Chains A and B, each alone.
Chain A
Amino acid sequence: ETGVTQTPRHLVMGMTNKKSLKCEQHLGHNAMYWYKQSAKKPLELMFVYNFKEQTENNSVPSRFSPECPNSSHLFLHLHTLQPEDSALYLCASSQGTGQIGSEKLFFGSGTQLSVL
């Protein structure tokens, strides 16, 4: 148990569906992240939120829409996805104070997404 909970663990959706991924952290952290993990590729940073404000959007297509209502919750809204979007989506949190070491990430178990 890392203190970061993601739901659902698995998701299968069609290209016309709309779904949302949920992440909750119980660590009192200030920063939350969405990462995409595809086979044989490095972890790809998608979005960063610090104190509920989006501080980074790593050129992510608009079919992925993040939402951060508070420092403990993070959502990723999905619509009209493509088959190449199939991947493991990982949520993470960090202290986010800007000091060296505060960027240490604590990951959830991920949502394995399959787009048909």
Chain B
Amino acid sequence: GESVGLHLPTLSVQEGDNSIINCAYSNSASDYFIWYKQESGKGPQFIIDIRSNMDKRQGQRVTVLLNKTVKHLSLQIAATQPGDSAVYFCAENTGTASKLTFGTGTRLQVTL
């Protein structure tokens, strides 16, 4: 089966620094990727998405980078704030299955 994995289960970042959360995927047919943020007691919330015909996409304080050559996805958060503390999931869609496959998640801890 296909897998979506994350390199680090926990990432600790100082407030104000930039955060980088990584994700590896194994399905070369994946054509759509999403990052979700899940705070304690809440469901996952959409952050940003990217299609496979793009290498980079920017949102408000967040940037997603896609490297199809090595099947790697990253989420960059600029000037990390305490409110960014959460679990971050990447998800991929192979295009044919029309459903998302999620990774296990990375917990981001923001220290003051």
Contacts and interface: CB of A to CB of B under 8 A. Distances in A.
A61 interface: no
B81 interface: no
Contact of B99 (A4, A48, A100, A107): A48
B100 A103 contact: yes
A109 interface: yes
Interface residues of B, number: 25
Interface string B25-41: 00000011010100001
Nearest to A112: B41
Interface size range on A against B: 20 to 34
A70 to B, nearest CB: 21
A11 B1 CA distance: 33
23 contacts: A2-B43, A41-B104, A42-B105, A43-B89, A56-B99, A90-B43, A90-B44, A100-B93, A100-B95, A101-B32, A101-B49, A101-B51, A103-B93, A103-B98, A103-B99, A103-B100, A104-B46, A105-B46, A106-B46, A107-B36, A107-B43, A109-B42, A110-B43
Interface of A: 2, 4, 6, 33, 40-43, 45, 48, 56, 90, 92, 96, 98, 100-101, 103-110
